[in-house]
Amino acid sequence: MVSESVDTAPAAWQRDVFDVLKAAGVRHICYVPDAGHATAIRLAEADPEIQAVVLTTEEEGIGYLAGAWLGGERGALLMQSSGVGNCINTLALQPCIRFPLLMVVTMRGDWAEFNHWQNPMGQATEPVLKQMGVMTWRADVPADVSPLLRGAATMAFAGEASCALLLGQRLIGEKEWVK
């Protein structure tokens, strides 16, 4: 069993993720459940103006967001770094049809990782995203989350670009294995 860091109260930056997405006009939040995104997910599910969509696999979110954009609405995909590997082929959709793709990625295999299975994709996430034409920014301290996500949202929605904010494991907090 994995537990979050010792302090389990949501940090202000976790609320900032939701607030920035809402302020950017996001009406669809797609996600695979993840503890790092739990606050944004709960807030999205409680907001009547936002359609929170749980996915069975991350690449479904890319197609869903393309459809939302074709329907005139904005969306964002919340996932963990291990899910980026599931999206490689589907990331090719964005440059072909030019729709805004905004992703918020919680990192694993990044710093103080106890689960060695997370390390390969955690180390490959940013280079893989860049190889697929995704612009990336990384937040390792709470003060960076809001401005970096606002900037990524602006670039995605104003420029129909593919953008990702990576939330570093130092920001999220060290996870512990609990027996």
State the fold for domain 2-177: Rossmann fold (3.40.50)
Our CA angle for 96, 86, 81, nearest 5°, is: 110
- Let me know: does 149 contact 166? Beta carbons within 8 Å: no
96/25 Cα distance (integer angstroms): 24
The pLDDT of residue 112: 85
Residue 177: the pLDDT is 67
Residue type at position 18 = F
pLDDT on residue 60: 98
Q: What's the whole-model pTM score?
A: 0.92
Please give the pLDDT value at position 4. 46
Splitting the chain (179 residues) into consecutive groups of 10 residues, what average pLDDT does each group show? Answer: 51 96 98 95 98 98 98 98 96 96 94 87 95 98 98 98 96 77
Task: Report how far residue 129's alpha carbon sits from residue 133's, in angstroms, rounded to the nearest whole number.
Answer: 6
| pLDDT for residue 1 | 46
Query: Per the structure block, which two tokens stand in for 8?
Result: 């389990």
3-state secondary structure 88-156: CCHHHHHHHHCCCEEEEEECCCCCCCCCHHHHHHHHHHHHHHHHCCCEEEEECCHHHHHHHHHHHHHHH
Q: Which two tokens stand for residue 96?
A: 């072909």
How far apart are the C-alpha atoms of 22 and 134, rounded to whole Å?
22
- If you search the block for the tokens 């994709």, which residue do you land on? 121
Tell me, what's the pLDDT at 3? 45
Tokens of 10: 């949501």
Q: What is the predicted pLDDT for the residue at 5?
A: 45
Amino acid 166: pLDDT: 98
Report domain extents, the chain.
Answer: 2-177
